[in-house]
Amino acid sequence: MATLWHGRFEDGPAEALQALNDSLPFDRRMFREDIAGSRAHVAMLARVGLISDADAAAIASALDTTEAELADGSFDFAASDEDIHTAVERRVTELAGAAGARLHTGRSRNDQVATDVRLWTKRELLEIAALVGRFQATLAARADEAGDAYLPGYTHLQQAQPVLLAHHLMAHGWALARDVERLLDTIGRTDVSPLGAGALAGSSLPLDPDGVAADLGFSARFQNSLDAVSDRDFVAEALFVLALLGVHLSRLGEEIVLWSTDEFGFVGLDDAFSTGSSMLPQKKNPDIAEIARGKAGRLIGNLAGLLATLKGLPLAYDKDLQEDKEPLFDTCDTVRLTLLAMDGLVSTLQMKTDRMAEAADNPFGAAIDLAELLVLAGLPFREAHAVVGGHVRAALAGEVPFADLVAADERLGPEAAALLEPGAAVRRRTTPGGAGPEPVAVQREQFAQMLASQLERLALLS
């Protein structure tokens, strides 16, 4: 079996070496990027006069054929194809004859693979950002639909103060907005061409790294050839940004799990986005939300694994770097699927707003409003807190209902009783960014503007 590097070797590779060494099973999915990189490289070689136009044309046409074969599945892989780069070069050489042997001039698989992974990651992150945008739009639509519906807000998972449902939904939306910003940032740092760095040191040939960078749609070329072939920061960043996005989906998933229980009863799950039990006929399970929660662990594992791979690597390229691709592909695939399923789940959730209001209309939800009423009358907050806390304690002890204690307390005055009316407390959350109808109306506008700006920036990049 003839490898690309057989010249220096007397013996062929052992089976065990090949099985461990080959990355073709997973890196073949970068074939389009590999071919794009080769096209730009060959065009550059011709431009600077390192190969003839005729050879460049023969190689370009062989690259077209190779790409078509890889796309339609008719490509015949050989046992010696250890990765997508060797597979493509071998085929091009078969198709283009003598010209094919000039394809790898001035290039190493080290700068080639870094180029491919950057091209792949740029496109993929952009597509994922668009899917996040879609999900944000779903949250915004559900928030609009929710109108002035409200539910209990929680701290420590104990009922705290009522909040508008729209406010709660948009809270998840803002977290996703930061994810999109981080994706855009990461795309920016991914957008640098390593092609022309060679194995590690550049070349004696008159290559044009700026030209290939521009040709491939990169915003810049590398500054340092050692860094260019050994840098996988962009992969680690992508894995972090997507793991954090996964953590956000997981937190939302956890709430949907809770909200869909009989005990909460805040949401109903659509048939198409929930599952049944093989044994218990009455069950409807929130599997998507649970899987979103579960997948976050895997995304964090992919990030931790890559960081561990990178931490001990001396400059420049080391074969350990081949371990960058599987976690990257797995994370991207996982996040895409989770986003789509969560989008479906959230867009079809049945919001049980009567039940939410009932849970939120616990009179203790207005305890802070009563204390603040005393503050407005001049009482120091700590004393006001103690007065209302005393009524809560007495009511919980079962002596007199909270409302009666409040009505009977002259310090609280005549306005106090109205604060305990259903829905009153949430309407009093009037400060900027707060949970009541007034600030939420402003927030809806700001959320829509933010979304439009993100979509615009994504469109400019695609």
**Interface region with ligand ARG, contact rule CB under 6 A, candidates 250-258, 271-279, 313-321, 440-448:** 313-321
Q: Which residues contact 406 (CB under 8 A, 6 or more apart)?
A: 363, 370, 391, 412, 416, 417, 420
Does residue 317 interact with ligand ARG by CB under 6 A?
Answer: yes
One of 33, 67, 83, 89 touching ligand ARG (CB under 6 A): 83
Count residues contacting ligand ARG (CB under 6 A)? 10
Chosen residue from 110, 161, 250, 309 binding ligand ARG by CB under 6 A: 110
Please report, as residue ranges, which positions from 111 to 140 form the binding site for ligand ARG (by CB under 6 A). Answer: 113
Q: Are 370 and 416 in contact (CB under 8 A)?
A: yes
Cβ closest to ligand ARG, residue 118 vs residue 142: 118
Q: Determine if 193 is a binding residue for ligand ARG (CB under 6 A).
A: no
Q: How far apart are CA 204 and CA 338, in angstroms?
A: 48
Residues 6+ apart with CB under 8 A from 432: 439, 442
Q: Does 357 bind ligand ARG (CB under 6 A)?
A: no
**Looking at 321, 349, 412, 458, which residue binds ligand ARG (CB under 6 A)?**
321
277 is catalytic: yes
Q: Please, how many CA atoms are within 13 Å of residue 125, restricted to the half-sphere of its CB?
A: 32
Residue 123: Cβ within 10 Å count: 17
Phi and psi torsions of 152, nearest 5°? -70, 140
Out of 74, 156, 204, 278, the active site residue is 156
Q: Which residues contact 271 (CB under 8 A, 6 or more apart)?
A: none
Cβ burial 359-377 (10 Å sphere, 16+ → b, else e):
bbbebbbbbbbbbbbbeee
| 362 makes contact with ligand ARG (CB under 6 A) | no
81 binds ligand ARG (CB under 6 A): no
Q: Does 109 bind ligand ARG (CB under 6 A)?
A: yes
Interface of this chain with ligand ARG, residues 25 to 64, rule: CB under 6 A: 27
Nearest distance from residue 113's CB to ligand ARG, in Å?
Answer: 4
Q: Is 104 in the site for ligand ARG (CB under 6 A)?
A: no
Does residue number 322 form part of the binding site for ligand ARG (CB under 6 A)? yes
Whose tokens are 């290939």? That residue is 212
Q: Which is nearer to ligand ARG, 309 or 338 (CB)?
A: 309
Active-site position among 6, 52, 219, 277: 277
Q: Is 378 helix (H, G, I), strand (E, B) or coil?
A: coil
State the DSSP string of 235-272.
Answer: HHHHHHHHHHHHHHHHHHHHHHHHHTSTTT--EE--GG
- Residues with active-site annotation: 156, 277
User: Which residue ranges make up the site for ligand ARG (CB under 6 A)?
Assistant: 23, 27, 83, 109-110, 113, 317, 319, 321-322
